[in-house]
């Protein structure tokens, strides 16, 4: 794909628009293990993605983000990388990957890869060398002395348990913010940074269009790795999230490698404020193109966000408006947000933010309307486009996600809970497993995902909720997504326009405008199961000449101001 072709700043009306291909793009996230199995071994694979290139093209998306397909022992479904330059056997070969890239490029769909460089797998050659104290590799990871029964500090692992494991071979402790098989790379060591840069360049030279950067704000740790606040929900986080040298490391990666390519970078920023996240977009701060920050994803966290805490799933629309509006304002030009409501680490969006029982289709379309009309690059996670829902898990043995399992096991071991049932609600609300059940293609066996035995259970509702059925029905969730993607491509205002919230106090209607020059688009979302009046009188918008661009019912109120909106009705108007 041509480089730097779209890096132009154009003049439109009176506003200077900083146009970039990645601002105009809609991204589709593929979790390959659960997407499509091409060879009947029960595991989704790269050829399986290639087989669906026409499907993605029909949906109209511009970019595919492929979750890790690198060689890996798979303790965290590929986020534990053993070799950055080869493909996991189960997923196929490098030739398969190259065929995927060219198949997508032939359809003008770009491909971004996952960059996981906070940690490697413990089976990575670097770790094996470091464990043996091989010359040059001694400090590739964080090693600390100490007695085998006393970790060097009090940090928690994000996956439960301590962030340290004692290694019998080196007779030292090593740090892992995630699973014990995912040791953290020590970015202070210049050779680590050089190796990562070389690997990043290697992939860019293969022709990819960018990276989603995993846990990227965790790379720099406080010198000396001091104890964290023991009262904090995640002890130690203040010493690695947004650490002292993080901007320097990312800027170096940018200047030495990324600056040579017209590739997009989207940094995953857990545990940051909106302001901190924005700082990574600055020159000197890392020069990333956009950030995934999670402030809006925390509105329904229970007490302190703990796994055993109460209150999971309670959220209010005014909270959502409040936090989203902050993101929309603070991550507006010259900054840029990645807009998402779901991904492979979160429950299904219709189950979380909509009503997956009585208004599944309406609410899935409403959420889609929201996702695709905000400012920032929208990300659709596989299955969202047909309104896939959460599953129901009744025991630990039904789960796969090491994060959920780790926390439940912790709570059992500490006596905080007596059985799985005590946390069943929290698990069923938030487990990462919901997003990882196989993609539902047909109403056939295993939802058409595989001819073999699927690696993970298939949601029984595939009989009703599947791609084949959704594509056959003109009014389906799938067609709504397709129309929204098309609308976003047609209406520059939806990409570059300013966002203004209307009616901030309204508990049921989320309404906003997007304005570019003299063009204004109004979005009205009745985020409730009740008929609701859009109380636009008294707001600044003039709706007298409104024309509907897209809605999720057959018709829509002609003049929205003062009109009644039906349950989960979502309408986009041109004013």
Q: Which of 214, 491, 500, 569 is catalytic?
A: 214
- Which one of ligand GLC, Ca ion, none is in contact with 491 (Cβ closer than 5 to 8 A by kind)? none
* Interface residues toward Ca ion, by CB under 5 A: 37, 39, 41, 43, 45
Minimum distance from residue 409 beta carbon to ligand GLC (Å): 17
- Of 38 and 343, which has the nearer Cβ to ligand GLC? 343
Taking residues 322 to 361 in sequence order and writing x for each that binds ligand GLC by CB under 6 A, - otherwise, the string is ----------------------xx----------------
What's the rounded Cα separation, in Å, for the pair 274 and 325? 11
What's the rounded Cα separation, in Å, for the pair 164 and 466? 43
| Site membership for ligand GLC, residue 215 (CB under 6 A) | yes
Q: Closest by alpha carbon to 525, among 376, 379, 354?
A: 354
- Which one of ligand GLC, Ca ion, none is in contact with 261 (Cβ closer than 5 to 8 A by kind)? none
Q: Which of 62, 80, 268, 289 is catalytic?
A: 268
Residue 89 annotated in active site: no
State the greatest distance between any 2 C-alpha atoms of the chain, in Å, as a whole number.
75
Minimum distance from residue 108 beta carbon to Ca ion (Å): 27
SS3 for 429-450, per residue?
HHCHHHHHCCCCCCCCHHHHCC
CA triple 196-197-200, angle to 5 deg: 85
Per DSSP, the residues of 535-567 read --TTSS---TT-EEEEESSSS--SS-TT-EE-T
Do residues 197 and 256 lie in contact, with contact meaning Cβ atoms separated by under 8 Å?
Answer: yes
Minimum distance from residue 442 beta carbon to ligand GLC (Å): 27
- Which one of Ca ion, ligand GLC, none is in contact with 214 (Cβ closer than 5 to 8 A by kind)? ligand GLC
Angle between helices 360-373 and 477-490 (to 10 degrees): 20
Q: Please tell me what DSSP assigns to residue 184.
A: B
Cβ count within 10 A of residue 24? 16
Minimum distance from residue 423 beta carbon to ligand GLC (Å): 20
Q: Sign of the CA dihedral 44, 397, 306, 173?
A: negative
What's the rounded Cα separation, in Å, for the pair 365 and 455? 30
- Which one of ligand GLC, Ca ion, none is in contact with 234 (Cβ closer than 5 to 8 A by kind)? none
Taking residues 257 to 296 in sequence order and writing x for each that binds ligand GLC by CB under 6 A, - otherwise, the string is -----------x----------------------------
- Of 51 and 238, which has the nearer Cβ to Ca ion? 51
Q: Residue 107 — left, alpha, or beta (φ > 0 → left; ψ -120 to 50 → alpha)?
A: alpha
- Of 272 and 543, which has the nearer Cβ to ligand GLC? 272
In the numeric block, which tokens belong to residue 194?
A: 């050089």
Strand-pairing partners, residue 339, are 378
Minimum distance from residue 465 beta carbon to Ca ion (Å): 23
* Helices within 491-533 (DSSP H only): 492-496
- Which one of ligand GLC, Ca ion, none is in contact with 43 (Cβ closer than 5 to 8 A by kind)? Ca ion
| Site membership for ligand GLC, residue 116 (CB under 6 A) | yes
| Site membership for ligand GLC, residue 76 (CB under 6 A) | yes
CA triple 237-409-345, angle to 5 deg: 55
Q: Sign of the CA dihedral 208, 214, 216, 217?
A: positive
- Of 38 and 77, which has the nearer Cβ to ligand GLC? 77
Residues 169 to 208 in contact with ligand GLC, rule: CB under 6 A:
178
Minimum distance from residue 445 beta carbon to Ca ion (Å): 16
Cβ count within 10 A of residue 414? 9
Minimum distance from residue 98 beta carbon to Ca ion (Å): 18
| Site membership for ligand GLC, residue 399 (CB under 6 A) | no
In the numeric block, which tokens belong to residue 547?
A: 């024309």
- Which one of ligand GLC, Ca ion, none is in contact with 76 (Cβ closer than 5 to 8 A by kind)? ligand GLC
Chain residue whose CB lies nearest ligand GLC: 79
In the numeric block, which tokens belong to residue 220?
A: 């720099």
Residues 224 to 263 in contact with ligand GLC, rule: CB under 6 A:
none
Minimum distance from residue 78 beta carbon to ligand GLC (Å): 9
Residue 214 annotated in active site: yes
- Of 175 and 485, which has the nearer Cβ to ligand GLC? 175
- Which one of Ca ion, ligand GLC, none is in contact with 45 (Cβ closer than 5 to 8 A by kind)? Ca ion
Chain residue whose CB lies nearest Ca ion: 45
Collapse the DSSP code of 291 into the 3-class scheme (helix H, G, I; strand E, B; otherwise coil) and give the result. strand
List all residues 6 or more positions away from 39 whose beta carbon is below 8 Å from its beta carbon: 45, 47
Residues that bind ligand GLC (CB under 6 A): 76, 79, 116, 178, 214-215, 268, 344-345
Catalytic amino acids?
Answer: 214, 268
């Amino acid at each position: 794909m041509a480089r730097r072709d779209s890096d132009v700043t154009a003049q439109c009306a009176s506003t200077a628009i900083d146009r970039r291909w990645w601002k105009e793009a809609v991204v589709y996230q593929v979790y390959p293990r659960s997407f499509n199995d091409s060879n009947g071994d029960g595991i989704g694979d790269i050829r399986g993605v290639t087989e669906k290139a026409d499907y993605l093209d029909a949906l109209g998306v511009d970019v595919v983000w492929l979750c890790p397909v690198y060689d890996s022992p798979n303790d965290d479904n590929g986020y534990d990388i053993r070799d950055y330059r080869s493909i996991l056997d189960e997923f196929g070969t490098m030739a398969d990957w190259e065929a995927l890239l060219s198949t997508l490029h032939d359809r003008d769909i770009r491909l971004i890869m996952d960059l996981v460089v906070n940690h490697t797998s413990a089976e990575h050659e670097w770790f094996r060398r470091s464990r043996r104290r091989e010359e040059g590799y001694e400090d590739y990871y964080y090693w600390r002395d100490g007695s085998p029964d006393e970790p060097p500090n009090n940090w928690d692992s994000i996956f439960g348990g301590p962030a340290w494991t004692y290694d019998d071979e080196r007779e030292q402790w090593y740090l892992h913010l995630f699973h014990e098989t995912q040791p953290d790379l020590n970015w202070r060591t210049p050779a680590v940074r050089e190796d990562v840069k070389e690997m990043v360049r290697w992939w860019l030279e293969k022709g990819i269009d960018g990276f989603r950067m995993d846990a990227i704000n965790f790379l720099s740790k406080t010198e000396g790795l001091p104890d964290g606040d023991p009262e904090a929900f995640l002890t130690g986080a203040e010493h690695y999230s947004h650490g002292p040298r993080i901007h320097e490391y990312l800027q170096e990666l940018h200047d030495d490698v990324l600056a040579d390519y017209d590739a997009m970078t989207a940094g995953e920023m857990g545990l940051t404020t909106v302001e901190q996240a924005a700082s990574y977009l600055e020159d000197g701060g890392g020069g990333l193109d956009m950030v995934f920050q999670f402030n809006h994803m925390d509105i329904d966290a229970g007490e302190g966000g703990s796994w055993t805490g109460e209150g999971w799933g309670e959220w209010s629309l005014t909270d959502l408006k409040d936090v989203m509006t902050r993101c929309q304002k603070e991550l507006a030009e010259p900054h840029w947000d990645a807009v998402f409501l779901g991904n492979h680490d979160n429950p299904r969006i219709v189950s979380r933010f909509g009503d997956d029982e009585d208004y599944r289709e309406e609410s899935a379309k409403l959420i889609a309307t929201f996702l695709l009309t905000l400012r920032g690059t929208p990300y659709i996670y596989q299955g969202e486009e047909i309104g896939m829902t959460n599953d129901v898990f009744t025991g630990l043995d039904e789960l796969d996600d090491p994060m959920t399992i780790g926390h439940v096991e912790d709570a059992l071991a500490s006596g905080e809970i007596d059985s799985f049932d005590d946390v069943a609600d929290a698990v069923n609300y938030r487990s990462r497993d919901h997003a990882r059940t196989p993609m539902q293609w047909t109403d056939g066996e295993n939802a058409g995902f595989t001819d073999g035995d699927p690696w993970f259970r298939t949601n029984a509702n595939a009989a009703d909720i599947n791609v084949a059925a959704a594509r056959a029905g003109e009014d389906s969730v799938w067609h709504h997504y397709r129309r929204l993607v098309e609308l976003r491509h047609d209406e520059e205002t939806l990409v570059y326009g300013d966002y203004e919230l209307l009616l901030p106090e309204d508990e049921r209607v989320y309404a906003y405008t997007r304005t570019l020059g003299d063009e204004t688009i109004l979005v009205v979302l009745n985020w409730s199961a009740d008929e609701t009046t859009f109380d636009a009188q008294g707001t600044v918008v003039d709706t007298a000449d409104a024309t509907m661009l897209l809605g999720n019912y057959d018709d829509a109120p002609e003049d929205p101001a003062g009109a009644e909106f039906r349950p989960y009705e979502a309408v986009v108007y041109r004013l």
